[in-house]
Amino acid sequence: MIEPLLFWIGSAMFIAGGVFDFIAALGMVRFPNFYVRLHAATIGAIYGAVMPLIGISLIALGSPEIPARYAVAGASFVTALIILIVSPTGSHVLAYAAHKSRAVEWSPVVDHLEEDEKK
């Protein structure tokens, strides 16, 4: 009884992840500078990869004809958790390194990192 519901929720998450990937790709093309583009790339990595992986996990659990459905669901879910942890950390490190090296030309209104360095 719950298997069709899992299948349809998983399918909706899979399609929503594709939509988020498309929106992130538009952001990568249209946004003006490195930091905002990095934000779009992170959104694409998190929502565009984690949502479809969780959707695949739900689809596998909702499809009894898949022979190793628990293995597929578990592997998809663990991969989604790893991406959920690593992606924001990686984008933070990239933004911090770009700011410290001054590789990206940027003129902010307030720069708390620069103020902390002067102290």
Burial 61-85 (b: 16+ CB within 10 A, else e): bbbeeeeebeebbeebbebbeebee
Query: pLDDT tens digit string along 3-55?
Result: 889 999 999 999 999 999 999 999 999 998 888 899 999 999 899 999 999 99
Query: pLDDT tens digit string along 59-114?
Result: 999 988 989 999 999 999 999 999 999 999 999 999 889 888 888 877 777 778 77
Each domain of the chain, given as residue ranges in start order, spans: 3-118
Q: What is the pTM of this model?
A: 0.81
